[in-house]
Amino acid sequence: MKISWNDFVKQCESCQACPLGATRTNVVIYRGSVVAPIMFVGEGPGATEDEQGLPFVGQAGRLLQLLLDAQGFSTENYHIANVVKCRPPENRVPTEQEAAACKKLLGMQILICKPKIIVLLGKTAYTLFTGDKNAKMTQIRGSFIEKNGYLIMPTFHPAYILRNNNERVKLWKDIEQVRRKAEEMGLMERLPSQPDMPTERPSK
Site residues, ligand SF4 (CB under 6 A)? 12, 15-18, 20-21, 27, 84-86, 98, 101-102, 105
Nearest to ligand SF4 of 95, 177 (CB atom) = 95
Query: Under DSSP, is residue 64 helix (H, G, I), strand (E, B) or coil?
Result: helix
Residues in the chain: 204
At closest approach, how far in Å is the CB of 30 from ligand SF4?
12
CB distance 90 to 123 below 8 Å = no
Beta strand residue intervals within the chain, DSSP E: 31-32, 38-42, 78-82, 117-121, 145-147, 150-155
Please identify, using beta-carbon distances, which residue of 86 and 171 lies nearer to ligand SF4: 86
Helices 5-14 & 96-113 angle (0-180, nearest 10): 160
Residue 17 CB, shortest distance to ligand SF4, in Å, is 4
Nearer to ligand SF4, 98 or 176 (CB): 98
Which CB atom, from 18 or from 151, has the smaller least distance to ligand SF4?
Answer: 18
Query: What's the closest the beta carbon of residue 86 comes to ligand SF4, in angstroms?
Result: 3
